[in-house]
Structure formats: C-alpha cells, structure tokens
Amino acid sequence: MKLRSVLVANRGEIAVRIIRAAKALGIRTVQVYSAADADMLAVKLADEAIEIGPPAPKKSYLNIEAVIAAAKRANVDAVHPGYGFLSENGDFADAVVAAGLIFIGPSGDAIRLLGDKVAARTVAEKAGVPTVPGSDGRISSLTEALAVTERTGFPVMIKAAAGGGGRGIRIANDPAELETQFPQASAEALASFGDGGLYLEKVITRARHVEVQILGDGMDVVHCYERECSLQRRRQKVWEEAPSFLVPPEVRQKLCDSAVALARSVGYRGAGTVEYLYDDETREFYFIEVNTRIQVEHPVTEMITGIDLVEEMFRIAAGASLSVVQSDIAVKGHAIECRINAEDPRRGFMPAPGRIERLDVPEGEGIRFDTMLYEGYVIPPFYDSLLGKLIVWGEDRTACLARLSQALSQLKIKGVPTTIPLHRALAADAQIAKGAFHTRFLETWLETEFAADGGRAAEVA
C-alpha cells in the first residue's frame, strides 16, 4: 500500500519534524491547528492546514471528534499523533481506524495494554524482563499499600497507572507519609488522568534512566540501542545522550534484548521506547514503562544509527516490513540533545511566552536544530514550553561535548528567556564531562552550582 497523505495531529517542533519526514517520502501533509496556532511553523510548511478549535487543548488537540472530522474533510490516508496529546490514547487510535484511516502507531489494544503502567509491568514480567520491586497490580487501599512496603521497605513511589510526562508520582519515606499521600495521590490521579488507579514501586536511589528504542512491524522487532536520560528536573528529561556510555557492554546487550523480548511478546507494530532504571552499583536494571509513540529525544538515536525513525513509522504504517535487520544497525559516535524551553532557569524555570525577536541557528557537520521557531513568531501561552532541541554528534563523547559547547554559543534566541544558559553551564561542567550523574543529580546541581552563578561562568568561557 502507498501512503499518499497524512494529517499531523500535533503542534510545535514535532509537527514540523513529521512534515519533514512526510515530504522526504513524497506524502502530502495536512496540519491541524487551534485558534492560537494559526501562525505556527508547521501550518506554514504543510500543504494544507485546518483549524480544529479554540486554544484550550481539550477543545482542539485533545478533541478526538474534531481531529477525525478534519482528517475526513482533508481526505487523508493516515494520521500521525506525534507525542503528548492523543498519541497514547487507544480510543483515538481505534477512532482513526473506524474512520477508515491508518493510525501511525500501534493498535488501540496495544496502546491500552502498554500505556497502563500496571498492565505493562505484568507484560514485562511475563516476557522475563525485571521490573522495579513493588505492588503486583493496582493498590486499592492503604492497608494493601502498607503490606507491599513490608516487602520493599521505604522509600516508595506512589505512581498513577495512567501517569505520564513526569506527573502523577509521589515519594513516601515512611508509613505516616504513605498514609497522608495515598488518598491525595488517588484523588489527583483521577482528576488529572480520569483514572485513579495507583501502584507502588520501591525508590531506586542513584539510578540512571536508560531507555531502548524499538521498531516493530508486527512480525519482527529490532532495537536501535539505548539512550541515557538521567538529567531530569521534576522527572522530566532536560538533556539526553546516546549511547549510554557507562552501562557495561554485557549489561547493555541484555537490556536491548529484554526490550525486544517484551515488544515481541505483544507483536509490537511501530516505533516505541522501553524505559528502565539502571543501578550503577548492583549493575541491575529494572523496567519502568513503555512509551508507545515517537519520543522527544528520538534524534540522538537517529544521529548515532543513521536511521530516520519517523520515516520508519510511515513505512511500517503503510504495511511495509522493517527496512533494517538487527545486524545492519550499528552505533557510530556519540550524540547529545539539549531541550530548549521558553523558561527562565534563573527564576525557577518560570515559563515565559513572547515574541522571537531574533534567531541565530548554529550550522555545520554533526549539528541539528529541530524547532518550531522563526523570527517574529509569537509563542502562545497555552502549551508546553519546548521551543526546540539542539542535537549534536561527535566521533566520541568528548568530541561531542566540545562541539556542543561551540554550537550552544552560536545558538541565539532573543525575545524570550530560554534554558540555553542552563545547557551552556552543563556542557562546561566537570561532573557532566565525567558522566558522574544520576536521576537526582540535576535538581541538586541547580540548587548549588547553578544557583551560585546562574551559569555565568560558562557564558564568560
């Protein structure tokens, strides 16, 4: 089958990224947009654009009926959901198929199975993948929760089964905290995700976040190696790398094989990511969740493997089998991605929308800037603050860091505060150069090193 046209059911930088892949494959693009997004870059780049509703995401980008109506009106063959919004909504995937269109992603059933973080733990266990010690299923009472901690000890994480984007997670350090937090967590999960389901996981201290990129065509599954995403703030990734330079080769092989085993066990179709925590001291890894969509940080994998993951998603959705076999996929060099947000890192990361007065983008070998920006663009205040991602490749990690510092000094965004100063300081930091960090590193570093000079030392250098 040939895909001739696609509806891009997202916004921002990922919409631009999807349009670029579609154009490379000769696919006609139709971009949806909210009333606040008429000027966005993806609208300008697409062959056609359709307004789907008011600025509030619930009334536009999360409105299944409005998106499907646009797809029918534009007479497209397929819908690409990007990340966030409806990308991990199994009912949306089903609605797209029911409308006679192709959903670029796994089936609704696969999304529901793997997107429920408790159900996914069971899938992982059945596939022989180690999970974080915790509850066997959903926990419906405090008594049950306390019983789990007899096995795991404290601290524990109370997690929402339907959580995502770093939200719906709390830490309890003792039984008293568990007692106060359990009902709060349940109410919050219900309000935020429409599902109050909770589960418990032991806190893995000094863990690294390592995740494996997979591609499946329903018959076979391959992995495109792993990413290291330990630099996080509020459990949201800030800086990502590939490969994960400190995981020993034999552990790395097991990790990638386990992701493939898990995906094979459900006949996975599409691009996906299996996330793990890795404990440096014990060299154990533990499954945490599957993301059944393209991820924000996918470009670092593209830079080291040469595979265009979004183009692969289109090919798989069109019914083709994987264009690569495992033995073809090799890692070359090292890549780092910096998320550039419209937030002021010197003022508690306050989001600050506004007008882009000037934009200077670094260019050259091994440098890529995936963005939604152009000069004169006014950033609307209703959505995620991600403006773009600077991705840099080098022969090895040292070369990559040097090139990154160079590229960051050439990246100029005037008009709104951005997280560029934070990334410049990180790129110049000795601990980062050594790779001596874990998932709690950045928050402490922000309170100490960065608070001391707001990254000014890096700016002078």
Per CB under 6 A, 31 contacts ligand ADP: no
Of 79-138, binders to ligand ADP (CB under 6 A) are 83-84, 132
- Rounded to 10 degrees, the C-alpha dihedral 81/244/301/223 comes to -80
164 binding ligand ADP? (CB under 6 A): yes
| Calpha distance 308→306 (Å, rounded) | 7
Q: What is the smallest separation between the CB atom of 228 and Mg ion, expressed in angstroms?
A: 14
Q: Which residues are catalytic?
A: 293
We find the least distance from the C-beta atom of residue 240 to ligand ADP, in angstroms, to be 8
Separation of alpha carbons 446 and 436, rounded Å: 15
Phi-psi region of 44 (alpha: psi -120 to 50; beta: other; left: phi over 0): alpha
Contact 235, 166 (CB under 8 A): yes
Least separation in angstroms between CB 28 and ligand ADP = 26
The residue (of 30 and 204) whose beta carbon lies closer to ligand ADP is 204
Q: Is 235 in the site for ligand ADP (CB under 6 A)?
A: yes
* Phi-psi sector, 82: left (phi>0), alpha (psi -120 to 50), beta: left
Q: Is 163 in the site for ligand ADP (CB under 6 A)?
A: yes
- Cα–Cα distance, 104 to 163 (Å, whole number): 22
Give whichever of 172 and 359 is closer to ligand ADP, judged by the CB atom: 172
Judging by DSSP bridges, how do beta strands 269-279 and 207-217 pair with one another? Answer: antiparallel
228 interacts with ligand ADP by CB under 6 A:
no
Residue 296 is a binding residue for ligand ADP (CB under 6 A) = yes
Helix (H, G, I), strand (E, B), or coil: what is residue 458? helix
Distance between CA 348 and CA 405 in Å, rounded?
A: 23
Q: Pattern 265-304, binding to Mg ion, x per CB under 5 A?
A: ----------x-----------------------------
CB 401 within 8 A of CB 433: yes
* 285 sits near ligand ADP (criterion: CB under 6 A): no
Do residues 244 and 208 touch, judged by C-beta distance below 8 A? yes
Which C-beta is closer to ligand ADP: that of 162 or that of 356? 162
| Interface region with ligand ADP, contact rule CB under 6 A, candidates 219-227, 231-239, 367-375, 401-409 | 231-239
- Out of 128, 165, 364, 381, the only residue in the binding site for ligand ADP (CB under 6 A) is 165
Judged by CB, which is closer to ligand ADP: 209, or 223? Answer: 209
For the bound state, the minimum distance from the C-beta of residue 201 to Mg ion, rounded and expressed in Å, comes to 12
Contact 413, 358 (CB under 8 A): yes
Residues 6+ apart with CB under 8 A from 452: none
- CB closer to ligand ADP, 57 vs 345: 57
Give me the residues that bind ligand ADP (CB under 6 A), please. Answer: 83-84, 132, 157, 163-166, 169, 201, 203-204, 207, 209, 232, 235-237, 275, 277, 288-289, 291, 295-297, 384, 439
Give me the residues that bind Mg ion (CB under 5 A), please. Answer: 275
